[in-house]
Structure 1
Amino acid sequence: MVKRILVSGASGLVGGILIEHLSKNPNYDIYGIDKHIELSIRYQLENTPISEGQQPILPPKEKFYVCDIIDKDKLSHIIQDNKINIIIHLAAVLETETVEKINHINCNGTKILFDIATKQEHVEMIIYASSVMTIYGYLENEPYSSLLKNIRPQEALKKITLNDPPIPSHLNPSFEAYCMSKIYGEKLARQYSSTDGNVKFVCVRLGWINTTDDVTSDLYDWSDKSVWCSHRDLCQFFDRVLENQLKMKQFQIYFVSSNNDYCWFDMDNGREDLNYVPQDGAKWNET
């Protein structure tokens, strides 16, 4: 049976990567929503050259909807009319926005989507794009803070597990608000999964995904490189989740990155549950 998959935040970097990849699979029928059709702001933030006329990778126009995540009525119609089975929820504003906007879109928007989706009998699973930034507060203390200073740790780092509490970064109010919005989204997913037995929730604590899909530049420090996730590994992980949908628990959280040196969080459950084995990785070469 072909699964109808809706990607929110379809114009974003991760949205484009996944839409391009999943659209090649005949088992999936891909739909998308976003409030705009411009390229992700990440291209600007990372100073990535953009060719003239370059556009985001979107589903066909009859399967893409310009829709704000907080537009309850339109969002409900899109999910219901297209009988969506799986939602990949990527829509969010970045840590560069105001605290108010982060809370409005990332928190309120996520609640609206979860509330609508769990009331539709054809929705089977929601994959929520959380972030490794849920634990960025650990980088503010040793031994993890050495990565921020580009100092090579003297020994392997004790890995943060799902049993360790999420701790947001306190870098600045917007950064902290973004971290907290992802922590809130996970709590919300757990809450909906326990009150609604029909929809499975998978929270994906994504590592850093960059526009160039490369981390060899000295411009990147090891707080970035240690959490980097290649486009190939991103797609592999989502393949594994979708392939194992029937086996998935009602609620689960996974850390997802590539096989980086000094990765400081535990991805064992992804390997055990889904056979997710990263193919790429950032290496701290001797100089």
Structure 2
Amino acid sequence: MNVLLTGGAGTVGTAITDHLADREEYQLTSVDPEPHPDPNVESVEADVGDYDAIRPHFEDQDAVVHLAHAPIEGGGPSDRSIHAFDGHLANLEIHANAYEAAVDAGVDTFVYASSNHAVGMYEVEHAPDVYYPDYGLTVDHTVQPRPDSMYGVEKVYAEGLGRLAAEAHDMQVYALRICAVRDPEYDHPYGDAEAGVDRGEFERDSDAYATQVARMKGMWQSRRDHAQMVERCFTDDSVEFDVFYGVSDNDRRWFDVDHAREVLGYEPEDNGEQWDTPPE
């Protein structure tokens, strides 16, 4: 199976390539502004914002995993302001380019790296109580979008492009609202807390550290679980357009995984409650 990734050299992309690139059934190509680190991945250096530069690489691909995202200086997940930030506008073009190229090349399957921030106001409304067991909130694929930021708005926009591509151009589109996939050194439910310590933001015995752990025990999707979810999209033949939450089988999660289990056959292997301390 020929698979093209946009932005595959980043944190989420390497979670996929680390687990799939050495498999004989996949031939992976990644379009990035810099070389992809995995020698088993064909690396293309190009800007997804440049349609003419990327369009030829969509030919003869069976699936596209769209992860590319330009840096933004404002409008991030914790910023509630409404403003047309430069990076935000660049991302609207990047997403449109990826879908347009896939449609034009006749790609069958499109996996979009959406985000929990497309519905992030549920967390904002219920935090921090929602981070702890037995809170009772479930956010599933049927809820209305509630973006928490311009970043979240951008994700809703790209999900809308996906529905248009699916319904008007007969492409199977999977919008994965990714919760928390991290680099290998932080691939555990203590990851964000440990990263905060490493950056000097707080100490391990602080309330801030404990809050980060509690949140990640609900939000974490392990790298291997994320790669499995993406692969399940490749093997599915039932979806026109659908939304799934990228999260491991965490006891205290508030994002639904039953829909992904039933439709995709996703069987997450990890659970944040399996960890009592960070790794040595």
User: 1:263 matched to which residue of 2?
Assistant: 253
User: 2:129 matched to which residue of 1?
Assistant: 146
Aligned-residue offset at 1:285? 8.2
Deviations 1:198-228 (A, max 9, x none): x211111111011221223553243333111
Pair 1:132 & 2:116 matched? yes
Q: Aligned-pair RMSD on alpha carbons?
A: 2.4
Pair 1:206 & 2:178 matched? yes
Equivalent in 135, 142, 153 of residue 163 of structure 1 = 142
Pair 1:22 & 2:20 matched? yes
User: 2:57 matched to which residue of 1?
Assistant: 78
Aligned-residue offset at 1:58? 3.3
Q: TM-score, normalised by structure 1?
A: 0.79
Q: What SS does the aligned partner of 1:134 have?
A: helix
- Greater helix percent: which structure? 2
Aligned-residue offset at 1:161? 1.6
Q: Distance in 1 between matches of 2:34 and 2:147?
A: 29
Q: Distance in 1 between matches of 2:233 and 2:24?
A: 16
Q: What SS does the aligned partner of 2:68 have?
A: coil
Structure 2: which amino acid aligns with 1:86? A
Q: Distance in 2 between matches of 1:285 and 1:200?
A: 36
Change (3 A) 1:225 1:94: farther
User: 1:51 matched to which residue of 2?
Assistant: none
Structure 1: which amino acid aligns with 2:230? F
Aligned-residue offset at 1:284? 8.8
Equivalent in 150, 162, 165 of residue 189 of structure 1 = 162
Q: Distance in 1 between matches of 2:169 and 2:63?
A: 15
Corresponding residue pairs, total: 249
Q: What SS does the aligned partner of 2:120 have?
A: helix
Is contact 1:69-1:109 (8 Å) kept? Answer: yes
User: 1:106 matched to which residue of 2?
Assistant: 91
User: 1:240 matched to which residue of 2?
Assistant: 232
Aligned-residue offset at 1:136? 1.2
Deviations 1:31-82 (A, max 9, x none): 0111124xxxxxxxxxxxxxxxxxx633558x211111111111112223xx
Is contact 1:137-1:168 (8 Å) kept? Answer: yes
Q: Distance in 2 between matches of 1:160 and 1:273?
A: 17
Q: Distance in 2 between matches of 1:204 and 1:108?
A: 20
Structure 2: which amino acid aligns with 1:210? R
Deviations 1:84-141 (A, max 9, x none): 22111011135655652432332211011111210113x1111000011111111222
Is contact 2:189-2:275 (8 Å) kept? Answer: no
Q: What SS does the aligned partner of 1:36 have?
A: coil
| Gap regions ≥5 residues in structure 2 | 76-83, 195-203
Change (3 A) 1:194 1:277: same
Change (3 A) 1:129 1:57: same
Pair 1:58 & 2:46 matched? no
Equivalent in 226, 230, 234 of residue 222 of structure 2 = 230
Equivalent in 32, 47, 54 of residue 68 of structure 1 = 47
User: 2:6 matched to which residue of 1?
Assistant: 8
User: 1:46 matched to which residue of 2?
Assistant: none
Q: What SS does the aligned partner of 1:118 have?
A: helix
Q: What SS does the aligned partner of 1:226 have?
A: helix
Deviations 1:226-263 (A, max 9, x none): 1110011111112222222xx23111111121111321
- The alignment-based identity, stated in percent, is 23
Aligned-residue offset at 1:180? 0.9
Q: Distance in 1 between matches of 2:14 and 2:166?
A: 27
Deviations 1:2-47 (A, max 9, x none): x11111102201111211221122111110111124xxxxxxxxxx
User: 2:200 matched to which residue of 1?
Assistant: none
Q: Distance in 1 between matches of 2:58 and 2:178?
A: 25
Structure 1: which amino acid aligns with 2:162? A
Is contact 2:216-2:272 (8 Å) kept? Answer: no
Q: Distance in 1 between matches of 2:39 and 2:68?
A: 16
